[in-house]
A and B are shown apart, each in its own frame.
Chain A
Amino acid sequence: MINLNSWVWPRNKARDGKSRFGRLEALPTQSISQSMITEKDVEHIAKLARIEISAAEREQLKDKLSSILGYIDQLDTLDTSNVIATYQTTGLENSLREDAPRESHDTSINLEDRLLSQAPTTENNFLKVNSIIDRNKK
């Protein structure tokens, strides 16, 4: 028979209901507070990501993102200084093809019209956007 050793797994005490961090106790994390992020950080990231968020959402996001980052911190316990990164698993390099019209593409349809029909505003077959600079602002 196989001898299956027990393994300390992150979801232990999953149903103890003690706290959100209750189920993280078994993790080899050094410090969960290490990656706490502030509401100001959230505001900054949201701006970079171009998503408007309310004050209430900001607070919630701060808590949830901090708890996820706290969990992620367990990766710090592994020394990876001599490990090469894996960006993909197929081993393919430079997928090349002939620079020729691709027959497998259905040219009987007017793809351009189909694509443009999805845009909220167009003008003369161009996408139309709002002004980049707000003229009312000095």
Chain B
Amino acid sequence: MPAKGHTIESIVKGIRNGQFSAKEIFNEYLAKIKVLDKDLHAYLSMHEFQEPRDGVLFGVPSAIKDNILIAGTICTAGSKILEKYVSAYDATIINKLRSAGSVFLGKTNLDEFAMGSSTENSAYGPTKNPLDTTRVPGGSSGGSAAAVAADLAVFSIGSDTAGSIRQPASFCGTVGLKPTYGRVSRHGLIAMTSSLDQIGPFTKNVRDAALLMNVISGHDMFDSTTVPKKSEDFLLNIDKSVKGLRVGVPAEFFGQGLDKEVKDKIMESIERLAKLGCEIKEVSLPHSKYSIAAYYIVAPSEISSNLARFDGIRYGLSDKEAKTLLDTYLRSREGGFGAEAKRRILLGTFALSSGYYDAYYLKAQKIRTLIKKDFDEAFAKVDVIVGPVAPSTAFKLNEKSSDPLSMYLSDIYTVPVNLAGLPGISIPCGNGEMSNMPVGLHMISKPFDEETLLRLAYQFEQSIEK
């Protein structure tokens, strides 16, 4: 199933061959967005054309999740509290993309502060799944996924804290990559859960994802969590055979709770990997079932701290009626944050409050060790782990929005990867038999081994397209 529309490679080629100019292709996309996005609502704001620099992304129109700063433009994070916020500087990733030649079409919709799995928590209304507009695109980077799936952008950028790139990629049938924690700078990304947040691309195929990784990876002195590494070319070995590669299948990811139509596609994909010459082995991740519970301590705790900066004083919404400083805090935050943000701030405040630290935050961080150890042991035996990205295909709008817990559980297979800091990718592997919606195959590799991850993903994608 080749994805619709242009790829990075076809755009760069087209411009260099004189088939179209960068401005023409940008305007073509803008015109398309004007028509199609009325219904989809993938975008929150549109940007003006700027002459591109020459590079590997020469003239390629892209979309950026609206929690990443582009100097001089509005950045809402999907929240009312930042409705009028104008970014003072460019995020590192924006600098890198711009230097490589990309032109930004606009900013995409997301769950408020990236908290959610359906994009329904956006203060600006939900994004719809372009393949079936009665369904959600997933989240939190739902706008970025929908934009690429509907060819309203050639590629897009999202952030993944618990699955926010991989799950919407799975729901919309695009490629979505969450790099290793420490691989891509988050400078200029509005922080949600700092110990887990990672930026990554949505693309129409694996080659484009590898190309983007060449552009966006690397140490950044503005993000002290980025790891100094020699720059790599992720396209260099992407064609090399995967024969003999050891692929692990965690039994724990195929139990109760996984929809049959998803399971069928994943099992089919594993057979396909076996046909490609991979050696399939069963592995065990016994503690992964605790990951959602651990996540909902770690994330809210860090959220309560990160979102303390929205105080109605330095930027963002500020209550005009407030008479005292305390009132400014209380009322600005009351009016500015949506329900899920409030829930998580309160949950985190509770978990970190006096007397509860050991029982909650410390406990969760210890569970994180156990989850990571499971992966370490599995990766002693295999090179890549595969399984489902999400337990179901894209669910219906409003199906889960009133029950936070059931929404949280849609991240059950993606969260452990964030807690262990590993890279993971979602590759379309066909449509589910019941819903006829895309299913994503989840591949996970060792830290900083995106090369193997992308190579296997590429070979898998090629085998499907044949």
Contact = CB atoms under 8 A, between A and B. Distances in A.
A87 B293 contact: no
Interface of A: 2-12, 14, 20, 23-24, 26, 37, 41-42, 45-46, 48-53, 57, 61, 64-65, 67-69, 71-72, 74-75, 78, 80, 83-90, 92, 95, 97, 102, 104, 106, 109, 111, 114-115, 117-121, 127, 129-134
A20 B315 CA distance: 38
B258 interface: yes
Given A5-B255, A23-B406, A75-B364, 9 more contacts: A8-B256, A14-B257, A37-B350, A50-B311, A50-B333, A57-B342, A92-B224, A104-B221, A117-B86
* Residue of B287, B314, B323, B405 most packed against chain A (CB within 10 A): B405
26 contacts: A3-B251, A7-B251, A8-B255, A10-B257, A10-B289, A10-B412, A11-B256, A23-B405, A23-B406, A45-B353, A46-B346, A50-B333, A61-B343, A67-B405, A69-B350, A71-B405, A75-B364, A75-B367, A78-B290, A83-B367, A85-B365, A86-B372, A90-B181, A92-B227, A119-B314, A120-B313
B342 A89 contact: no
A95 B294 CA distance: 27
A130 B409 contact: no
Given A97-B221, A119-B315, A10 B292 contact: yes
Contacts of B264: none
Q: Which 8 A-B pairs have the closest CB atoms?
A: A89-B421, A7-B255, A9-B257, A85-B365, A95-B224, A120-B318, A118-B315, A11-B257
B346 A75 contact: no
Nearest to A114: B88
Interface in B208-224: 221-222, 224
A72 to B, nearest CB: 5
A86 B325 contact: no
Contacts of B28: none
B366 interface: yes
A26 B308 CA distance: 36
B86 A118 contact: yes
* Residue of A71, A104, A115, A129 most packed against chain B (CB within 10 A): A129
Contacts of B334: 51-53
Given A10-B257, A14-B257, A90 B89 contact: no
A51 B406 contact: no
Contacts of A86: 365-366, 368-369, 372
A114 B314 CA distance: 12
Contacts of B225: 88, 90, 92, 95
Q: Chain B: interface residue count, which band?
A: 35 or more
B296 interface: yes
B48 interface: no
Given A64-B343, A86-B369, A119-B315, A75 B293 contact: yes
A89 B297 contact: no
A74 B290 contact: yes
Contacts of A92: 182, 224-225, 227
Interface of B: 71, 85-86, 88-89, 181-182, 195, 221-222, 224-225, 227, 249, 251-252, 254-258, 270, 280-282, 287, 289-290, 292-294, 296-297, 304, 308, 311-316, 318, 322-331, 333-334, 337, 342-343, 345-347, 349-350, 353, 360, 362-370, 372, 391, 403-406, 408-409, 412, 420-421, 447
Contacts of B313: 119-120, 127, 129
A45 B300 CA distance: 13
A89 B333 contact: no
Interface of chain B, helix or strand or loop or mixed? helix
Given A52-B330, A86-B365, A86-B372, A131 B256 contact: no
Given A75-B293, A85-B369, A65 B324 contact: no
Contacts of B372: 86, 89
Contacts of B182: 89-90, 92
B263 to A, nearest CB: 9
B252 to A, nearest CB: 5
A64 to B, nearest CB: 6
A40 B145 CA distance: 41
B227 A130 contact: no
A132 B176 CA distance: 48
A71 B293 contact: yes
A102 B221 contact: yes
Nearest to B304: A49
A51 B315 contact: no
A7 B289 contact: yes
A127 B313 CA distance: 7
Nearest to A24: B405
Contact of B325 (A7, A102, A131): A131
